[in-house]
Every structure is written in structure tokens, then in C-alpha cells.
Structure 1
Amino acid sequence: MASKGDVQTLEKGSIYFFYRPKVNEEEPSGLGDVERMYMVLSPGRRDVVRLAVVGRKKLPDPSEKGRRKYWGFVDMVRKDPTAIRDEFGSDENRTKTRGRQYLPAARPVGEGVYRILRHGDHTHLVYALELPDKTGKVQKDLNIAREASYIISVKNPESGGKPQAGLSDGQQAGFPKKLQEEFRGRKFADADPPEFLDHEGCEFLLIPASDDVKEELGLELNPEHETRHSADVFQELRLDVDENPVRPLFEGKWD
């Protein structure tokens, strides 16, 4: 069993959480109104931003250690953060059979700092929130805790799988040879190196480990105090408050 001191930081940066309401849902009030949940990872000192889709439309509860495995995948990888912002916009079209179809804009619901860690024989994704100052109903419904630790592993796209499980063959990542060799024939590998996540179609599993990073790993994440004026989601992603409602981020309320 790995000790608290047996921890190596592989990557650190900023993390953002978003949700998008279902089609034509302009007043979401709970998880049943959510179409997708997103997680954005922006590594420090690296010219890349990743947009990941979180399965089940919420994070696994970090307090339920080892009880659940949640699937997700990397949907977009870009050098320009504003390309990620554009993905969060609203859209409207009309169809002959369904009439007006309105896709609401995504809402920011959390901002913080994260690290990908090597801990003994496995890897972790850990984070601590900077916003909102106090989590509310929307964060509770999406299982976004003040801080959390998840064991993270990456799926081997060449291992096959059950029909209708995960992405199709054409959607899965095509890793370069050096990364593919890290699997050594196994179905899953640790997220080491984190560059696995730089490839669109990379599938991963999150397994809850703890809701107290310091207690579990002996690590202080040191989130900073952020405000509407200093929030990185506006500074880095250039999020437009007129397009993307920010009440969930600052008040913890559905909007």
C-alpha cells in the first residue's frame, strides 16, 4: 500500500466544470434537466486545453471510496482556449418533424486547481474548488465537492469491449506508438504520462478515492480566492456572461 509521502505530481493546472441543459430546457432545476456534464483541464505551462465529457452527467461521489467507476472521454483538445468556449454556445434550428429545437448554452458550475499524481502503483486526479465560495444545490446534485480525489485510468483502444460500451472504434483515440506501448496488452493503463489525455477519443475511468486530499495523500492544493473579476474561466476561456449564465458558478443555484 502506497504511503502519503509516495506521491509525485505529473501535471497541474486549472480545472473547470460545466453542464449543458437538455434541448429546449431553458429553466433547468435538477439533474434530470442536464444533457451533458463537462470537465475542462488546462495544464499549466503547456499549450493545450482539454474538454472532457463526464458520464452519467455527474461526478462520482468522492466520499464513496472505490464503490463506483464512472466513464468519460476527451471530446476536444485545442491550443486556443477560446475554441473550447465556442463549443459551449447555444444553437437553434428548425426541423420538419419537431419544429424549433433550441440547444441551451452550457453553464459554468465550478472552477479550481487540479493535479494528476502518481501514487504508488496508480494515478490520481485531484482538485480543489476556488469557485463558488460556497457550494450549493447544483454542485451537490452534480457531486462537485469542495475537493476530491479520484483514481484515474485510461482505456486501451485496442483492447476491444462489449457492444455499445463506450465510444465506437471510429471515435476512440489513436495513440502514438510510444503511448500505446504503455498498455503492455492490458485493458487499462495509469494516466502516466498525462499526455494520454491530449488525444481526442481518449476514454478514462474515475474511481472515487477521497473527499479530503490532505488526509488521503498529505497534499495541499492551495486554491486561491477568486472573484467575478479575477475568475480564470473569464480570463482564460473568455467566457461570455451574456451567452453563458454564471449564477451556478457564483451562487450554486440552477439556472
Structure 2
Amino acid sequence: MPTTRRQTAIAEGKIKPEKNHAIGQKRRSSSAGASTIKKAKPRSKSSKEDVSREPKVHTGEKRRLGHGEEESDAAAHKPASKKAKPGAEQERTRIYESGTIERGHIYFFYRPRVMVEEVHSIDDIKNFHMLLVPRPPDFAISQSNKKGAKKPESFAEGELKVLEQGADAVPASDDATSTRKRYRLVTVGKKKLPDPEGEDSGSTRRKETFWATVTACGENLQELEKGLGEKTYETKTKGTRHEGPARLVARGGYAIVNSEGKTPSQRETHLGYHVSHPPPADLADVQTSLGIFSASSFVLQVKNPLAPATSPQQAHSKPAEYPEWIMNDVFGKPKGRGKHTKGRESYGLRFVSCETPELLDYKGAELLLIAARDGEEGLETSLGEGRGKALTKKQEEEALDTVEHVFNEIGLDLEKFPVESLEGTWI
């Protein structure tokens, strides 16, 4: 029984059947299938190439240069798929980045001791914190705001050379409207910053070296405000206990810069900052007691979590849980049953420079802060290539921002957090 118009026409004798019709259809179908397969091959190859290039983004170029500062930590730390893993391991063997690896805004806080309502000196302080909020470079935001401009991450190396010297260390201004920003809260053990003038031990001065720990990191400013806010809790032995909110004592811009070096021992990471609030002329006892200068820098090192603890406090704290690529390629942990790749110890290197800012993105990361230099000249010497001067200029401009704007940058409510400390008064 005919089922199509063509078959009906053949049955009625209106047209003659073609013997090669079905064969032709088959051939065309087969040809189309072959064509599809051939076209699919380049796409498969391209996707593989994309996977192999993917690890290059892990260094944070797009996040640091573009608007992607608000990218979630979960996305930043999402492990590679099984297909991407071999390529990722191959690309991550060269981790070290020289020059400016990060820039942003820095905030200094202190929290009063438990049940201390009013602070009069550093003896009444429970904790001293540095809050690091990474930002894209100012030039990237300025360029991207121009009509028809390239995306910040698409600038070629040659194009960067025409920028003002030191521009890579200047963080973009914050419009203070977003409640989601990447941040790290670093707690300094000595409750102040190391003094660049050093300790006077007889005829020589020794650079102060303090421990610090990344105690919180994330992107939700509401959680940050809650963590820094007022706390009341119950204990079985002492009953109700109260902690006042953290006090903001200074705000400014910072840059993390790696020096050139072929071997780990030749590399050095400098974290330099310049304060915008309060202005240099208004720095008072609160800031000086906490070791905060109008401009200063220190050498930054990161401890291998597998290295033995050097203090009882470290022995009881939970170390950072770094992924294998950091442990292997940065700290030099043995890969499988092979020998360790760096250092003399079985676990690799005990300390490393901050080869990539991702080392700071894990709670429990242990840091060494080694005093370097203070003042604007010292900042320039530490950061080099005009970076200190460029950072100073930018922070002098941002010093005109209101205190309300500063608090809004990090989502703090002025009704919950006192402002007197930012003016140099103990409270």
C-alpha cells in the first residue's frame, strides 16, 4: 500500500521508479554523516586546547585585571575535571609570578578584650587584624569605561608599557555599592605590625618578625560584618560574656610585589601599603601603638603546613588545606614515592615567598611578616619601578573620600561600629 505521494504516483503510472533513488539517498545520508564527523574533529581538538590553556587563568590574571573581583571563592577553588587535570598539572609547574601579583584596599582593625568596654592602650586589645580586599588595577577600569575599549583582561604586554610607571600597583577606586567582594582577614599575633626600625640589641638592630594567620576569607560582606561585630555569649564558668565590635583604625591601598629570582632563595615578596584614612598628619597614638605608618612595607613569607610548629599556638591551630598542586609545585612536597623537589626536608621547603596570591586564599594559612621599610621613599624602594609613588598618589586622592564611604566599601554599619578610632582616639 503506497504511503507517500511519490509511491502513489508510481502506482498510478504517472512517474517511473528510479532504481538509484534509494541508493542516492543512502549515499547522501552517509556523506552527510561523514561531513558531520569531519567537522566535529576540529571542535574536539579546540576544546582540548581550551582545557590545556585553562590553568593559566588560575594565577588570577582575569580576576585581578577585570571586574571579576567578585567571583566566588568556590568558583576560584573549583577543582579541574578529570580531563583537564593532566593539562593543569603540566601548566602549573611554573607558578612564580614576578612584578605586581595583587593590589587592593587594606583596612586595620583591633578588637577589645572580653568584657572590656573601653580601650585605653594596646594592653586592652584582644586581636589586631588586617583586612585585604583585592581590586583590579585602576588603569583597567578607566580603559574599560571608555567607549569601544577592550576588556581589562585583554590588554597585551606591549600596551601596558605605555601606561604611567607603577600603574600596575594602583587599585581601582571602590564605588562602595556591592555587598559581595573577595576578602581575607589576617590576624597578627603580636597585636601590631613589625617595626621597620627594628629591635635594638646592643650595637645592631634586628628586623622584627611577627606571625600572622589568615583567619577568614570569603566574598560575603554581611558575613564579614557579623564576624567583626559585637558578640554576647554564655559560658558555664563565667556566665554571660561580651565582646565589643572591632574598631577600624586605618584604611589605605596595598600592593603585593614579587622580585625577580631564578631560585626560591633569591625571590622576595613585598607587601607595601599607603594609608588614606586618617591623613598622615592626623595619625595619632592609636595608629603608632599598632605599628601603622602613613606608608610602610614588609617582606611576606608563607609557611609550609607540613613543616613542624614552632610555637604551642601553632601546634593547636588547624593549618591551611592547600590543594596538591600548591603542595607539590610551590612547597616542593614529594610527588608519590619520588624524592622531594625542593629544600632539604622530607616535606619540601619550610617557607616560601608568596609565589601566587592563591596562597593567601585558604583559611589557616600561616604567614611571616618581616619588617622592611617605612615612609614613602621606603615604600618605593620595596615595590620598585614607580609603584610606591603611584600608590601614594592614588591614596592621596582617595583621602578626600568621606568616612561613611570608607565604611560602606566593606559593608559596615556606622551605627554598629565606632568611628572615633579612625580619628586616632582609643575607644
TM-score calculated relative to the size of structure 2 = 0.55
- Pick from 175, 179, 186 the counterpart of residue 326 of structure 2: 179
The list of structure 1 runs, each at least 4 consecutive aligned residues, that deviate by more than 6 angstroms after superposition, is none
Flag the 1:107–1:96 CA change in 2: closer, same or farther, 3 A: same
SS of the residue corresponding to residue 123 of structure 2 reads helix
Flag the 1:239–1:159 CA change in 2: closer, same or farther, 3 A: same
Equivalent in the alignment of 1:166: 314
Structure label with greater radius of gyration: 2
CA contact (8 A) 2:231 2:243 kept: yes
Residue type matched to 2:412 in 1?
A: L
Once residues 204 and 164 of structure 1 are traced to their aligned partners in structure 2, the CA distance between those partners, rounded to angstroms, is 16
Structure 1 residue 160: deviation in Å? 1.8
Greater share of residues in strand: 1
Once residues 247 and 181 of structure 2 are traced to their aligned partners in structure 1, the CA distance between those partners, rounded to angstroms, is 24
CA contact (8 A) 2:404 2:414 kept: no
- Pick from 231, 239, 244 the counterpart of residue 104 of structure 1: 244
Once residues 165 and 229 of structure 1 are traced to their aligned partners in structure 2, the CA distance between those partners, rounded to angstroms, is 36
Residue type matched to 1:146 in 2?
A: S
Once residues 311 and 112 of structure 2 are traced to their aligned partners in structure 1, the CA distance between those partners, rounded to angstroms, is 28
- Pick from 15, 19, 28 the counterpart of residue 119 of structure 2: 28
SS of the residue corresponding to residue 327 of structure 2 reads helix
Structure 1 residue 35: deviation in Å? 0.2
Where does 1:1-255 land on structure 2 (aligned, <5 Å)? 8-45=99-136, 48-64=182-198, 67-120=207-260, 121-133=267-279, 134-162=282-310, 164-166=312-314, 168=316, 171-181=318-328, 182-184=330-332, 185-211=348-374, 212-218=378-384, 219-220=388-389, 221-222=391-392, 223=395, 224-229=398-403, 231-232=405-406, 234-249=407-422, 251-255=423-427
SS of the residue corresponding to residue 111 of structure 1 reads strand
SS of the residue corresponding to residue 183 of structure 1 reads coil
Structure 1 residue 227: deviation in Å? 3.5
Equivalent in the alignment of 1:3: none
By relative contact order (CA 8 Å, sep 6+), the higher-ranking structure is 1
SS of the residue corresponding to residue 112 of structure 1 reads strand
Once residues 308 and 195 of structure 2 are traced to their aligned partners in structure 1, the CA distance between those partners, rounded to angstroms, is 28
Residue type matched to 1:36 in 2?
A: N
CA contact (8 A) 1:126 1:213 kept: yes
Flag the 1:229–1:28 CA change in 2: closer, same or farther, 3 A: closer
Once residues 138 and 129 of structure 1 are traced to their aligned partners in structure 2, the CA distance between those partners, rounded to angstroms, is 14
Alignment deviations for residues 115-149 of structure 1 (CA, whole Å, 9 cap, x no partner): 11112321011101011122111001101111111
Determine what percentage of the aligned residue pairs are the same residue.
35
SS of the residue corresponding to residue 314 of structure 2 reads coil
Greater share of residues in helix: 2
Structure 1 residue 97: deviation in Å? 3.1
Aligned-residue Cα RMSD (Å) equals 2.0
SS of the residue corresponding to residue 128 of structure 1 reads strand
Structure 1 residue 42: deviation in Å? 0.6
